[in-house]
């Protein structure tokens, strides 16, 4: 229960087997890459405290098995997600092609309140590898067609763009969650606000 | 004040706002609404006020009034539109005389804003923190504070909270949430019954425990609850709105025993005991209890007093309070007066007048009479009726409308007298009711609790129901109620009984069900603790024959197998070797196994080669596509386009390949298969170099099968030769590297004669000793042959046909399926236990071979993640591909059911649930209550891999052999007891931290490879015995 008390953002990482979900998660949380990570069985999650817009939040990042046969299991963990991270391997065209079905499956199973507004983030992983099969443009086009999903090209191996991607994931998760009142269940004990806080964006929400 | 103290104080102020915001937000979540006059709103406003007052430059700004923040509001109204709005509302409210306003407002009650204001109509009742409240309800508070924060220098001292760069913005952001809520004025039924704020509870207690008010009537008939909504009269609604605006006060009286029919404050009464001539304002209410109507009047001093400073002699007001039972009243005298409103005088059976009740203007008297009339039903009525029937109307012109004299705006004062007519058997009924209540008093209380709670969820239906009830119940009501009570009593008792019975039955079925999990008799572990040691083995393994299976199983179950013996013993445990078999029998078996394994391997290796080739082409295609995208904008040479379309439309008809894997006719023609005399197949291709342009032809972009993408690509394709060349040369390099390593696998059965490769040529020669590669002239002809998956496959050799120059030996479906599996296997092999010493690249290849062989033989099952994990420990022990393969096949007979298309996993979960329920109810309760994780998903990996990932390798060996032996010794479901043992070992940690689902998942994932295997095994064996004992005693 302890994890519940803070602002907790639940993030689900989805994508074909081997695209590097586990590696990305570990690179982000533990700052290391290893070729000793095993194929994910079942589900696991790591948590990390991050500061988003001057607010301390706890990211609970869920990593599930990538083989589609195991999807039925993953759905047990989809519920209550605040953001869904879709990952493909820029060197493997098939992993890009399955993005649609991952996204659809997630929306069906997690059944978020506002499916069209639910935050997704797309990561094209393994950009350190040659040769590339999916161009940036193609990925961006896909994102555009899906309500302008943010897109990042990452390398879990070289720690490229991973931090930035997850920062954006956290922010998107937070906006998703602040639409529900859960946020107010507990405030972080210490809030450090600076003058640069963008209060206006918050203020707008009270007109609704 | 030092700055440290100052800071502490500010922190405290903010903390209190935080706390109150949280309170309000929680209230809004749990109740789905927050009432305007809820205690938490008041506290929040108080906390905000405290923040805003701190460091306010009162003197400089000339703010000397008592409420300086209100003055501040008026001051900033000039600059902030939000503040101006609220400022105006505050002034409006403060300037209004309560009585005058109530009448004027009655004209405009349709405007919601004004109605809102009504809640503050009495100066006495003007709530604290008025402007903050209003600003909150109007959703402007955070903006006003925002304004103050941004302009803090003008209004606040430098060290004020509002002027603080951090605290100021925290304050305004905190209030964004509460400002987004809608506050309700109307209290719904559940507001009255459920979690009232402490303030309300106190007040209820204060009044009900007072000696001067009679004890509340005990008789509860919740079904009879009526609400004001039953009246449709416009003025009643108006009065209702008004009194609902003050429902904070009313709620003091609304409870589960009595329904509040009417309530109005500032009703003037001269209390008989007060000895004073001046009438006092007070709160008049009409209550309906089960057997009578009661009119109550409570002096304002009692109603409001609790917020003001406590007057010690406040108790005297209790003496002034009036309570009249309507069944003691015979006449109701009404006097209507335009100036003063209306007066009602009640005259009792004894002819004595009760003190006159003066209603303020605004139709309150009519509303009161209306409610009274409704309340009298069905046992009594007003005579003449307030609402006249049509027949009356024809006789008496004056009474066409509902008592015209009672309608407002009539100029002259009117008097009217009503008689309260009692239905004949009224007295009788009430006596009977009392009887009934005494008999069933205890039970009824229970029922009430039940009904009370259910009524909250269906408040509206209760209301509508109550009207009908009051009409239909009439005569037979006494019988009816008695019957209802009796049947309720019976129902409750029987429900409790059946509940208990069902529980007992459930436990017994659970036991019966669980009895299948353990063997009826469990072989005892006497002298077996040291396990299958070298000595024991020497005793049992006589002249190469192992004869005593029971002993082997028993020793293994209780003490495990010595590591050096595992290679020998495991094939027995897994069922590959038969007990009693001779050395030569086993050698023969091994030889057969090996032969079959190699045969199968050669089959899939051939397919693999094709798959690899297609992959290369796919890759090249993708790269070409990529470069085409990156160079988009340039013109496509028309020539290329024409060439493309020709090739594409002529050739594709022959190929049903996957959209990514497209071979052109040109290439196919270069592939030749030759069958040698020694049954060796030579697979060769021409080495001729291709022109860049030819290669362009092979690009998938131009292939129409590539459905939607193709269309796009045909338009967008802007290839220049140079770019293409570049792309091709780089791929060729890359591919040849891959290919070389891949082709090494052919060593043994397959000889690669021409490993040099260019991008699109299938230019290698494969010579095979086996006769099993099925090649045909035509596509699809050999399909049926390939579907059969025998280890030894004479059927398949029959299918061998002469070498084809046309390729397309295997069905595209087969190629695709196997290719997909191959990729998955490769990915997972690469990630299999790389931290364990055994898995060097060479040994990973063995793992891969075993895996591919299994999948080739079981293409219907296919590769599923986790299978590698199951092969790995076997391979480590045997270090022999074919033996590992054979044993793995045996292992999979049981394990395959755990994978997604089997149903064993669900059974495991269900069994776990029952087991925990029976063996550890405390744990079960926790799992059930904490986000219910009795679905046991956190055990998924445990069961899928027989705990392989949970333990270090040496422990995996120990646990696995015990699982296998347990099938013969104690239980075929030993994994369940291992899982239980894992839970039991950490039981106290789980319980004391009251872990929820995610906590448990995290805990066990972090504990992977850190468990103490021997302890787990010991506890698991104990649990088996425990369950067996339980079942025996059933
Ligand atoms: N070069 C390179 N390799 C990577 C990168 N990310 C992951 N890998 C490798 O890709 C393989 C798969 O990575 P994982 O993180 O296990 O993939 P996954 O998505 O978690 O796969 P599943 O658990 O099966 O769903 C591993 O061998 C990693 O070492 C990357 O950014 N660059
Ligand atoms: Mg993974």
Q: How many whole angstroms separate alpha carbon A111 and alpha carbon A78?
A: 9
| Contact across the interface for A194 and B179, Cβ inside 8 Å | no
Helix, coil or strand: residue B415 = strand
Structure-token match 């998942």, residue found: B1001
Has residue A199 been placed in a domain? Answer: no
Has residue A159 been placed in a domain? Answer: yes
Measured between CA atoms, how close is A67 to chain B, in angstroms? 7
**Across the 1034 residues of chain B, what is the mean pLDDT of every consecutive 10-residue run?**
73 86 74 68 85 80 68 85 87 65 37 37 60 86 87 85 85 84 56 34 41 35 33 40 38 53 82 72 80 80 54 65 82 78 83 83 80 77 64 41 47 73 52 41 37 35 36 53 79 79 72 81 86 94 93 96 96 96 96 96 94 85 71 41 33 37 40 34 37 40 40 37 42 44 39 34 34 36 36 34 44 92 94 94 96 96 95 97 97 95 91 89 88 86 96 97 95 96 92 88 91 95 90 72
> How remote is the CA of residue B1007 from the centroid of ligand 1, in Å?
23
Residue from A34, A39, A46 whose CB has the most chain B CBs within 10 Å, to mutate: A39
What is the pairing mode between strands B183-184 and B34-35?
Answer: parallel
The half-sphere exposure of A43 on its side-chain side, counting CA atoms within 13 A, is: 27
- What's the pLDDT score for residue B661? 39
Residue from B166, B816, B837, B873 whose CB has the most chain A CBs within 10 Å, to mutate: B166
What is the pairing mode between strands A8-14 and A83-89?
Answer: parallel
- The CA distances from residue B537 to B258, B645, B966, in Å, are 85, 73, 19
- What's the pLDDT score for residue B1011? 94
CA B904, chain centre distance (Å):
26
Torsional sign, CA B552, B558, B560, B561: negative
Residues of chain B neighbouring A206 (CB-CB closer than 8 A): 139, 142-143, 176, 179-180
Has residue A206 been placed in a domain? Answer: no
**Which residues numbered 49-108 in A keep a CB inside 8 Å of some CB on B?**
60, 65-67, 69-70, 72-73, 76-77, 93-94
Residues surrounding ion ligand 2 at CB below 5 Å: A 21-22, 40
**Which residues numbered 600-659 in B keep a CB inside 8 Å of some CB on A?**
618-619, 622-623, 625-626, 629-630
Has residue A192 been placed in a domain? Answer: no
- What's the structural domain count of chain A? 1
The residue segments making up the domain with residue A128 are 7-185
Q: For residue range B12-27, what is the model confidence (pLDDT) as tens digits?
A: 888 888 888 887 777 7
B378: preceding bond cis by omega (within 30 degrees): yes
Q: How many whole angstroms separate alpha carbon B501 and alpha carbon B521?
A: 30
B963: preceding bond cis by omega (within 30 degrees): no
| pTM score, whole prediction | 0.53
Does the Cβ of A62 fall within 6 Å of ligand 1? Answer: no
**Higher-pLDDT residue of A65, B871:** B871
Has residue A2 been placed in a domain? Answer: no
C-alpha angle with apex B485: B468 to B325, nearest 5 degrees?
Answer: 65
Q: Assign residue A97 the CATH number of its domain.
A: 3.40.50.300
- What's the pLDDT score for residue B31? 57
Has residue A208 been placed in a domain? Answer: no
Residue from B819, B855, B900, B939 whose CB has the most chain A CBs within 10 Å, to mutate: B900
Interface check B12 vs A, CB under 8 A: no
> Does the pLDDT at position A180 exceed 90?
no
- What's the pLDDT score for residue B6? 78
Q: What is the dihedral of CA B189, B193, B196, B198, to 10 degrees?
A: 140
**Which residues numbered 103-142 in A keep a CB inside 8 Å of some CB on B?**
130-135, 137-138
List, in order, residues 6 or more apart from B561 with CB less than 8 Å away: B531, B532, B555, B569, B570, B961
Does the Cβ of A44 fall within 6 Å of ligand 1? Answer: no
Has residue A11 been placed in a domain? Answer: yes
Say if residues B547 and B580 touch (Cβ distance below 8 Å): yes
Interface check B865 vs A, CB under 8 A: yes
Has residue A127 been placed in a domain? Answer: yes
Which residue has the CA at smallest separation from atom 6 of ligand 1? A20
Closest to B18 in 3D by CA, of B38, B43, B35: B43
- What's the pLDDT score for residue A188? 39
User: Which one of A39, A72, A130 has the shortest CB-CB distance to B828?
Assistant: A39
Does the Cβ of A20 fall within 6 Å of ligand 1? Answer: yes
Measured between CA atoms, how close is A111 to chain B, in angstroms? 18
User: Which one of A183, A194, A203 has the shortest CB-CB distance to B142?
Assistant: A203
| Contact across the interface for A37 and B831, Cβ inside 8 Å | yes
DSSP letter for A63, please: E
Q: For residue range A9-59, what is the model confidence (pLDDT) as tens digits?
A: 999 999 999 999 999 999 999 999 998 899 999 888 999 999 988 888 999
Report residue A191's pLDDT band, with 50, 70 and 90 as the boundaries.
very low
Q: What DSSP assignment string belongs to B698-730?
A: T-GGG-TTSHHHHHHHHHH----HHHHHHHHHH
- What's the pLDDT score for residue A112? 87
Interface check A186 vs B, CB under 8 A: yes
B293 phi and psi angles, rounded to 5 deg: -95, 145
**Higher-pLDDT residue of A64, B421:** A64
- What's the pLDDT score for residue B363? 77
Say if residues B767 and B681 touch (Cβ distance below 8 Å): yes
| Contact across the interface for A138 and B629, Cβ inside 8 Å | yes
- What's the pLDDT score for residue B738? 43
Residues of chain A neighbouring B16 (CB-CB closer than 8 A): none
| Contact across the interface for A94 and B660, Cβ inside 8 Å | yes
What is the pairing mode between strands B545-546 and B541-542?
Answer: antiparallel
Say if residues B280 and B271 touch (Cβ distance below 8 Å): yes
Q: For residue range B916-926, what is the model confidence (pLDDT) as tens digits?
A: 988 888 999 89
Say if residues B147 and B78 touch (Cβ distance below 8 Å): no
H/E element holding B468? helix B459-472
Which residue has the CA at smallest separation from atom 7 of ligand 1? A20
């Amino acid at each position: 229960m302890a994890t519940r008390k803070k602002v907790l953002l639940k993030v689900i990482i989805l994508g074909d087997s081997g695209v590097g979900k586990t590696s990305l998660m570990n690179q982000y949380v533990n700052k290391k890459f290893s070729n000793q990570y095993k194929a994910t069985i079942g589900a696991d999650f790591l948590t990390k405290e991050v500061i988003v817009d001057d607010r301390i939040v706890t990211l609970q990042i869920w990593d599930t098995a990538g083989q589609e046969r195991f999807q039925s299991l993953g759905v047990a963990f989809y519920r209550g997600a605040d953001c869904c991270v879709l990952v493909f391997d820029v060197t493997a065209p098939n992993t890009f092609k399955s993005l649609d079905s991952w996204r659809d499956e997630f929306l069906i199973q997690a059944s978020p309140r506002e499916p069209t507004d639910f935050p997704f983030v797309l990561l094209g992983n393994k950009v350190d590898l040659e040769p590339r099969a999916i161009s940036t443009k193609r990925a961006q086009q896909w994102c555009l067609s899906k309500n302008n999903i943010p897109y990042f090209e990452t390398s879990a191996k070289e720690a490229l763009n991973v931090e930035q991607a997850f920062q954006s994931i956290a922010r998107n998760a937070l906006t998703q969650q602040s639409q529900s009142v859960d946020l107010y269940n507990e405030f972080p004990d210490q809030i450090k606000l600076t003058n640069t806080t963008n209060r206006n964006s918050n203020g707008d929400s009270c007109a609704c | 004040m030092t700055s440290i103290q100052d800071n502490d104080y500010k922190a405290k102020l903010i903390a209190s706002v935080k706390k109150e915001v949280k309170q309000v937000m929680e209230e809004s979540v749990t109740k789905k609404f927050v009432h305007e006059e809820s205690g938490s709103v008041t506290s929040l406003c108080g906390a905000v006020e405290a923040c805003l007052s701190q460091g306010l430059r009162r003197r400089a700004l000339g703010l000397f009034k008592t409420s300086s923040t209100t003055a501040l509001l008026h001051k900033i109204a000039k600059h902030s539109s939000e503040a101006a709005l609220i400022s105006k509302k505050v002034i409006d409210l403060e300037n209004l005389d309560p009585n005058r306003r109530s009448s004027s407002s009655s004209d405009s009650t349709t405007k919601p804003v004004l109605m809102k204001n009504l809640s503050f109509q009495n100066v006495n009742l003007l709530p604290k923190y008025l402007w903050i409240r209003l600003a909150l309800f109007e959703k402007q508070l955070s903006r006003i504070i925002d304004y103050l924060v941004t302009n803090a220098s003008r209004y606040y001292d430098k060290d004020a909270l509002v002027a603080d760069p951090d605290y100021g913005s925290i304050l305004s952001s905190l209030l964004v949430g509460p400002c987004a809520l809608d506050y309700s004025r109307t209290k719904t039924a559940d507001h009255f019954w459920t979690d009232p704020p402490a303030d309300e509870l106190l007040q209820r207690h204060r009044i009900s425990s007072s000696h001067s008010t009679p004890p509340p009537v005990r008789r509860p008939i919740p079904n009879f609850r009526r609400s004001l909504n039953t009246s449709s009269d416009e003025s009643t609604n108006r009065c209702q709105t008004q009194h609902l605006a003050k429902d904070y006060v009313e709620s003091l009286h609304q409870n589960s025993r009595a329904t509040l029919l009417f309530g109005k404050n500032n009703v003037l009464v001269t209390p008989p005991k007060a000895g004073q001539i001046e009438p006092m304002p007070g709160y008049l209410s009409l209550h309906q209890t089960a057997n009578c109507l009661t009119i109550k009047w409570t002096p304002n001093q009692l109603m409001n007093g609790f917020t003001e400073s406590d007057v010690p002699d406040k108790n005297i007001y209790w003496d002034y309070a009036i309570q009249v039972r309507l069944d003691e009243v015979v006449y109701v005298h009404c006097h209507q007066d335009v100036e003063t409103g209306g007066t009602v005088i009640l005259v009792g059976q004894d002819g004595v007048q009760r003190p006159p009740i003066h209603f303020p203007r605004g139709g309150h008297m009519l509303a009161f009479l209306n409610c009274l009339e409704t309340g009298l039903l069905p046992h009594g009525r007003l005579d003449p009726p307030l609402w006249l029937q049509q027949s009356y109307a024809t006789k008496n012109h004056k009474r066409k409308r509902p008592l015209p004299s009672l309608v407002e705006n009539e100029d002259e004062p009117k008097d009217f007298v009503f008689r309260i007519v009692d239905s004949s058997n009224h007295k009788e009924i009430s006596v009977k009711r009392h009887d009934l209540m005494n008999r069933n008093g205890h039970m009824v209380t229970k029922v009430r609790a039940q009904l009370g709670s259910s009524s909250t969820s269906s408040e509206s239906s209760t209301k509508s129901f109550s009207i009908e009830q009051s009409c239909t119940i009439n005569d037979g009501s006494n019988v009816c109620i008695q019957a209802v009570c009796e049947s309720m009593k019976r129902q409750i008792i029987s429900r409790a009984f059946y509940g208990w019975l069902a529980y007992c039955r459930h436990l017994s079925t659970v036991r019966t069900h669980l009895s299948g999990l353990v063997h009826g008799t469990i072989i005892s572990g006497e002298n077996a603790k040291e396990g299958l040691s070298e000595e024991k083995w020497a005793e049992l393994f006589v002249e190469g024959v192992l004869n005593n299976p029971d002993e082997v199983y028993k020793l293994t179950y209780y003490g495990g197998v010595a590591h050096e013996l595992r290679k020998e013993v495991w094939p027995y445990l897994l069922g590959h070797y038969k007990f009693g078999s001779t050395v030569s029998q086993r050698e023969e078996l091994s030889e057969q196994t090996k032969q079959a394994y190699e045969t199968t391997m050669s089959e899939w290796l051939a397919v693999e080669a094709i798959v690899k080739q297609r992959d290369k082409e796919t890759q090249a295609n993708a790269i070409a596509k990529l470069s085409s995208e990156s160079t988009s904008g340039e013109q496509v040479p028309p020539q290329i386009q024409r060439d493309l379309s020709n090739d594409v439309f002529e050739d594709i008809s022959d190929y049903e390949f996957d959209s990514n894997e497209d071979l052109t006719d040109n290439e196919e023609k270069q592939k030749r298969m030759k069958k040698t005399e020694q049954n060796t197949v030579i697979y060769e291709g021409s080495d001729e170099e291709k022109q860049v342009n030819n290669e362009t032809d092979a690009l998938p972009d131009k292939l129409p099968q590539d459905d939607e993408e193709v269309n796009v690509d045909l338009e967008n394709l802007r290839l220049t030769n140079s770019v293409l060349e570049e792309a091709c040369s780089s791929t060729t390099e890359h591919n040849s590297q891959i290919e070389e390593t891949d082709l090494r696998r052919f060593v043994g059965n397959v000889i690669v004669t021409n490993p040099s490769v260019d991008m699109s040529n299938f230019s290698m020669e494969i010579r095979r000793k086996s006769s099993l590669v099925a090649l045909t002239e035509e596509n699809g002809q050999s399909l049926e042959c390939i579907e059969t998956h025998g280890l030894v496959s004479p059927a398949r050799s029959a299918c061998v046909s002469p070498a084809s120059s046309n390729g397309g030996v295997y069905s595209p479906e087969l190629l695709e399926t196997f290719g997909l599996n191959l990729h998955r296997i490769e990915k997972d092999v690469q990630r299999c236990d790389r931290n364990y010493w055994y898995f060097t690249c060479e040994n990973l290849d063995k793992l891969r071979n075993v895996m591919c062989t299994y999948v080739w033989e079981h293409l219907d099952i296919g590769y599923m993640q986790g299978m590698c994990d199951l092969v790995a420990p076997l391979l480590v022990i045997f270090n022999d591909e074919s033996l590992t393969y054979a044993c793995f096949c045996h292992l999979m007979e049981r394990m395959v059911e755990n994978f997604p298309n089997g149903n064993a996993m669900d059974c495991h979960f269900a069994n776990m649930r029952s087991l925990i329920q029976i063996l550890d109810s405390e744990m079960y309760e926790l799992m059930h209550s904490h986000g219910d994780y009795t679905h046991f998903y956190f055990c998924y990996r445990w069961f899928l891999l027989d705990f392989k990932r949970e333990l270090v390798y040496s422990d995996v060996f120990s646990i696995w052999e015990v699982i296998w032996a347990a099938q013969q010794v104690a239980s075929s479901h030993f994994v369940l007891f291992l899982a239980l043992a894992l839970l039991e070992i950490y039981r106290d940690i789980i319980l004391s931290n009251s872990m929820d689902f995610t906590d448990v998942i995290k805990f066990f994932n972090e504990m992977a490879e850190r468990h103490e295997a021997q302890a787990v095994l010991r506890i698991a064996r104990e649990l088996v015995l425990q369950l067996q004992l339980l079942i025996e005693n059933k």
